[in-house]
Amino acid sequence: MKNVAVVGSQWGDEGKGKIVDWLSSEADVVIRFQGGHNAGHTLVIDGVTYKLRLLPSGIVRKNKISIIGNGVVVDPWALLDEIQEIKSKGVEVTQKNLIISEAANLILPFHREMDEIREDAAGKAKIGTTRRGIGPAYEDKVGRRSIRVMDLVSENNLNNRLETVLMHHNAIRKGLGKDIYKKENLIKDLIKIAPEILKYSQPVWKKIDEFKSQEKKILFEGAQGILLDVDHGTYPFVTSSNTVAAAAATGSGCGPNSVNYVLGITKAYTTRVGEGPFPTELTDKIGEELGTRGKEFGTVTSRKRRCGWFDGVLVRQTIKISGIDGIALTKLDVLDELDEIKMCIAYELDGKKIDYLPAAVDDQLKVKPVYKTFKGWKSSTKGIKKFDDLPNNAKNYINVLEKFVESKISSISTSPERNDTILIEDPFKI
């Protein structure tokens, strides 16, 4: 029995939604283990489009249990809106198929305001956050002043916890010339929605232990990508959580041996949203073409994504860092019309060739990609389901990519449709 963790091997937006949906059809339990409603997955099932932000992808399938783990930061109003939105499309959401960790930390209105205040004050040094309060909520978690799901049980406890966290936030707000945040209306609002949140609340670590003893297949669903990891990404232009596969254990409440296979979702080119280094970025006509053909706009923010060639150096690095066993290569069909295709196989930094992305942001901004050039295949790969049916030039690109990143390709996606996938190995059945 295999449990599988799915992570993005680039800067997110690799097409995890489709792959996770495909895997969730085999899984019994799907767990989101980090991030918040700043990361979105788009699923298309039987012609119906579902845009998920907090809810795990398994929620749209019958007889699956979906879990929001302790590593996720939860905006309770955003979650309730998302539940209502998905119910309106005929999806059933009950205490039987949705569980929220009682230890999950809440994103509250003053977190969103702090996110906006700081981004606006940063000017050219802004990070490019989604302004949804994710970072400030994680800061409060680490600072041990956060409000958690379990704190909604007691109004007296909630009052005391808010007193503590607002002492911190109001000191910063005063320093930035902003009005202090008053807790009275917030307490009323939280008490009003508390029953709707608490009815899903359980000790997730205990439930996972039960599921393991019952030999249920568990899918750990990551958000964003490894290059946005707060420790291993392009810091400080990163998210505020750990996006590597190891976070599946800490973000849900189980040992690392609970994850038996790590699948890295990998786009056949590279995209990035927001600020920060991007060695292979294309600001020319080809970059525009990739963005147009790939429909590169954020699920949550609708922001246009920056586009560039596939960066083999970065993906090889994230494979090592996250212990990726196999990659699911997505959006191959976006490259169909190009005369030539490039892959970054090294960097030059101050006249020297290097084979990794350095940790210092100044160096990350200076590195120049060294490319290997491939002939394009100039024919459609859309909907192809067998590797042998791919054009020879496409097969050559894929084979070189696989060898360079030092991880086998487990599947190749040839369109957004769930069934348009070349399956090489099934992570649940290895």
Catalytic residue numbers read 13, 41
Work out the widest C-alpha separation in the chain, in whole angstroms. Answer: 68
**CB 275, CB 236: distance < 8 Å:** no
Number of H helices, E strands in the chain: 12, 20
Nearest to residue 98, comparing CAs of 44, 58, 143, 136? 58
The angle subtended at Cα 315 by Cα 291 and Cα 358, nearest 5°, is 105
Distance CA 397, CA 403 (A): 10
In three-state secondary structure terms, 409 is strand
Cβ contacts of 42-48, under 8 Å, gap ≥ 24? 42/17, 42/299, 43/17, 43/18, 44/18, 44/416, 44/417, 44/418, 45/21, 45/418, 48/89
Buried b / exposed e along 344-370 (16+ C-beta atoms within 10 A):
bbbbeeeeeeeeebeeeeeebeebebb
Nearest to residue 97, comparing CAs of 4, 24, 195, 15? 24
Distance CA 305, CA 285 (A): 14
| Count of C-beta atoms within a 10 Å radius of residue 323 | 16
On the CB side of 148, CA atoms within 13 Å amount to 18
Distance CA 45, CA 34 (A): 25
* Sign of the dihedral defined by the CA atoms of residues 406, 411, 416, 418, in that order: negative
Buried b / exposed e along 275-293 (16+ C-beta atoms within 10 A):
bbbbbbbbeeebbebbbeb
